Amino acid sequence: MNNGSTDGTPALINRLALKHDAVSALHLAENAGYGGGILAGMNSLDTPVVGWCWGDGQTAPQVLVAAWQKLVDEQLDLVKSNRVERRDGNQRRFITTTYNAVMRHGFGLDTDDVNGCPKLMTARAYDALQLRSLDWFLDPECMLRAVELGLDWGEVEAVMLARQGGVSKVRGSTVREFLEHLWAWKGGWRP
């Protein structure tokens, strides 16, 4: 999916779609944000299993296969990765550890990696989740809604690989955005 890219992404997607019947080209004229891009792609799918994963090379293909296998074998609604080894700097490690502790103790999410990807789910579960976040809150919204709805979910362990492309977008503003959304969620807000 091309989320308003200004590099060679649109041409690459078009070539892949021409070469592989299983690939469909989806182009957004303007960047719809992290969540907006993912939701546009998800909403265009007509498959029994849907999901998303980052395109920066940090997730090994085997993790996606393991997530699929767990989803099918255990008949779960949703499966996500739990990054058990990460190659982050100290600042990012501190932010991530604190964030996941808040999610565990403040919101009851029994995971050490709320934002872990890939996230795969049945189309039925995706429809029930009614995800709306157009920004970085999409991952926690997914998991918070899954818990609210009582969906059966599981995790597969993953080692985060070195980033193959792009740069991390986690900044102070990202942390502030998460905190604002979490505070609002506690108060009953839903995107």
pLDDT confidence bin for 58, thresholds 50/70/90: confident
Closest-CA residue to 55 (of 163, 136, 169): 163
Strand partners, 78: 121, 153
Concatenating the DSSP letter of every residue in 95-159 gives HHHHHHHHHHHHH----S-TT-S-EEEEHHHHHHH-----STTHHHHHHHHHHHHT--EEEEEEE
Q: Return the pLDDT at 165.
A: 67
Q: Return the pLDDT at 57.
A: 80
Element (H, E) at 36: helix 33-43
Whether 142 contacts 52, CB under 8 Å: no
CA distance 191 to 185: 9
Whether the predicted pLDDT of 153 surpasses 80: yes
Strand partners, 119: 52, 80
Element (H, E) at 73: helix 61-73
Cis peptide preceding 48, ω within 30 of 0: no
User: Which tokens in the block code for residue 107?
Assistant: 């919101």
Percent share of the chain, pLDDT over 70: 96
Whether 143 contacts 133, CB under 8 Å: no
More confident residue, 58 or 19: 19
Rounded to a whole number of angstroms, the CA Rg of the chain reads 16
Whether the predicted pLDDT of 166 surpasses 70: no
pLDDT confidence bin for 185, thresholds 50/70/90: very high
Tens-place pLDDT, residues 86-126: 777 787 788 888 889 999 999 999 999 999 999 999 999 99
Return mean pLDDT, the chain: 91
Tens-place pLDDT, residues 4-49: 988 988 999 999 999 999 889 999 999 999 999 999 999 999 999 9
Tell me how crowded residue 122 is: count the other CB atoms within 10 A of its CB: 21
Q: Return the pLDDT at 179.
A: 87
CA distance 141 to 152: 16
pLDDT confidence bin for 178, thresholds 50/70/90: confident
Q: Return the pLDDT at 169.
A: 66
Tens-place pLDDT, residues 60-85: 999 999 999 999 999 999 999 999 98
Whether 103 contacts 111, CB under 8 Å: yes
Q: Where are the domains of the chain?
A: 48-186
User: Which tokens in the block code for residue 134?
Assistant: 């157009």
Topology of 48-186 in CATH?
Spore Coat Polysaccharide Biosynthesis Protein SpsA; Chain A (3.90.550)
